[in-house]
Amino acid sequence: MILDSKIPEGPLAEKWDKHKFNVKLVNPANKRKYDVIVVGTGLAGASAAATLGELGYNVKAFCFQDSPRRAHSIAAQGGINAAKNYQNDGDSVFRLFYDTIKGGDYRAREANVYRLAQVSVDIIDQCVAQGVPFAREYGGLLANRSFGGAQVSRTFYARGQTGQQLLLGAYSALNRQIAYGKVKMYPRTEMLDLVMVDGKARGIVVRNLITGKIESHSAHAVVLATGGYGNVFFLSTNAMGSNATAAWRAHKKGALFANPCFTQIHPTCIPVSGEYQSKLTLMSESLRNDGRVWVPKTVETAQKLRRGEIRVSDIKEEDRDYYLERKYPAFGNLVPRDVASRNAKLMCDEGRGVGASGLAVFLDFADAIKREGQPAIAAKYGNLFEMYAKITDENPYENPMRIYPAVHYTMGGLWVDYNLMTNIPGLYATGECNFSDHGANRLGASALMQGLADGYFVIPYTIGDYLAQNPTAKVTTDHPAFKEAEQAVIAKNNQLLSINGTRTVDDFHKALGLLMWDYCGMARNAEGLKFAKQEIRKLRDEFWRDVKVVGVNEELNVTLEKANRVADFLELGELMVDDALNRNESCGGHFREEYQTPENEALRDDENYAYVAAWEFTGTGNEPVLHKEELKFENVKLTQRSYK
């Protein structure tokens, strides 16, 4: 299989504009003849559905939540990047492009990343026009703050609720098209399979989560905008319902899955407090603008603190190690997420971690409060401080926050070309569902940027190019391909319900998550990955022998929903391990312990691994086939990443 990325010819800065002119168009009278399915209503899905509906296409939008506005995009806190250069501090489209390529440790396509930087400036205008209440300076101009991996202030924000406010903007645009009849909304409906006719994506099979009814929907093209797969780890900052089923079922129908081992660990999360937890809470990276990260300088001091023999306030300034500022003076506390996470782990591995478990570091705002006053800090981060206080019962204005890395985002996803189409004609993947823009590590505040870029400004052009070259004739759900897919879904559900074992779905999910975290988490090595692969296979076999799924299919059945998702995670987890084992280098969020510099930094192997690893499904339990898309860097120089 040859992977054709369809990157346009010409200079980097001109590729997208030329491509927009060269793509084929669908005239307005013909747009109403085409049906498009959009699965997912987060920022990528809602913006795509709204824009495609406004263009005149007939759109069907699906989400498993009870409302599109409950998509997990609401959980994003800190901001959205855009190269507006309002601060006049040296930002530009090229600098945003460069920071993103470098932040991803040179494992992303130049053309896709540059386009993302280009359209970022339009996203802000779009959202302001929708009424998104971005923070503003005293004079009324939009405010910016810094984020990790950049030395300029380019992050637009709405306190610590940026994702929610942006989603409300997209949701309002979506509702407008629903009211006009151009978008038909299907809430509480989950995609369980992709339907292909003559080698093209022509529809989906879904389960009504209220009634349990299995239904089919046909279209001329299918857009997946279903987010990432971080919940394979069980404990993550993702919503409990976030899953990989739509993308994984498409993968099993032939869509390649790219770079699955590239998982982002977010450095500022509230630490695990007990085995009862089902998810973790993110504390925005924006806090690292004013918060200083530190641990005690000695193991002895840390032990006294953990035993309660001393208090934080007893530790003198000279006895504190502000390790990010010490090791990375140029970027300090605003190093990229993978660097900050790995260093927090190193501090705790040395025995200098804080908190009862020793698996935490401090994020301290004392200096900022002294410098600017508590009201100023509260104006920036008040809702985040309130959230921390409610969860931990500690006052972060008086004592440092305790934070520790946690699974947050997945850079891997379905392989797509420049048009965001997978290798299956007519099947598109947008936002976190695809692999395209972040390489081996995503810079903070870039997830919202990519979701809205894909939905508002990319997919409306590129999907038209595909539809214009395909007939308007519809394929009905009476087609044998739909009936076959429906029967396969029903058979799988019945199989899950018939096992009647002794272990709960959550029990299996937790076991998988622990394996993934221990052996394919912040650090990996060949021995551990090989062990994890064997254990995941054993766990998957046991799942299909001993899982207990109560209830029946034709009704509300949350346990059956979970079982379907965990069954997919058990397959995806093995592919993540395969990918991590294949990539004999360290880059970004993929840190192989065998490949590091003397300073414990990631050591890339550009000669052998400067490629996108796109995996082909060959059957459950069979070894997947690796396809490589070589990455070419013509505008940036491949160098050892340094933030010192």
What is the residue-averaged pLDDT of the chain? 96
Closest CA to 566 of 538, 543, 593, 592: 543
The whole-number pLDDT of residue 93 equals: 98
Which of the four pLDDT bands, split at 50, 70 and 90, describes residue 273? Answer: confident
Mean pLDDT of 318-331: 97
- The beta strands (E) that lie in 365-511 are given as 401-410, 413-414, 427-429
pLDDT in tens, 440-467: 999 999 999 999 999 999 999 999 999 9
Q: Is a pLDDT exceeding 90 seen at residue 108?
A: yes
Percentage of the chain beyond pLDDT 90 is 97
Q: Is a pLDDT exceeding 90 seen at residue 246?
A: yes
Q: What is the pTM of this model?
A: 0.97
Cross-strand pairs, 547:
503
pLDDT in tens, 184-205: 999 999 999 999 999 999 999 9
Mean pLDDT of 569-597: 97
Which of the four pLDDT bands, split at 50, 70 and 90, describes residue 135? Answer: very high
Mean pLDDT of 499-515: 97
Contact between residue 54 and residue 48 where contact means Cβ atoms under 8 Å apart: no
Phi, psi for residue 438 in degrees, rounded to 5: -115, -5
3 state SS of 192: strand
Closest CA to 365 of 286, 309, 296, 297: 286
Q: Is a pLDDT exceeding 90 seen at residue 495?
A: yes
The whole-number pLDDT of residue 8 equals: 97
Contact between residue 25 and residue 169 where contact means Cβ atoms under 8 Å apart: no
Token reading at 476: 């009905």
The whole-number pLDDT of residue 626 equals: 98
Cross-strand pairs, 409:
264
Mean pLDDT of 380-397: 95
Contact between residue 154 and residue 30 where contact means Cβ atoms under 8 Å apart: no
Token reading at 505: 């779905």
Phi, psi for residue 257 in degrees, rounded to 5: -110, 125
DSSP at 335: S
Which of the four pLDDT bands, split at 50, 70 and 90, describes residue 327? Answer: very high
Handedness of CA 522, 528, 529, 533 (dihedral sign): negative
Residues known to be catalytic: 337
Mean pLDDT of 491-516: 97
Q: Is a pLDDT exceeding 90 seen at residue 35?
A: yes
Contact between residue 287 and residue 147 where contact means Cβ atoms under 8 Å apart: no
What are the respective helix, strand and coil percentages of the chain, to the nearest 5?
45, 15, 40
The whole-number pLDDT of residue 276 equals: 84
The whole-number pLDDT of residue 275 equals: 82
The whole-number pLDDT of residue 43 equals: 98
The whole-number pLDDT of residue 347 equals: 97
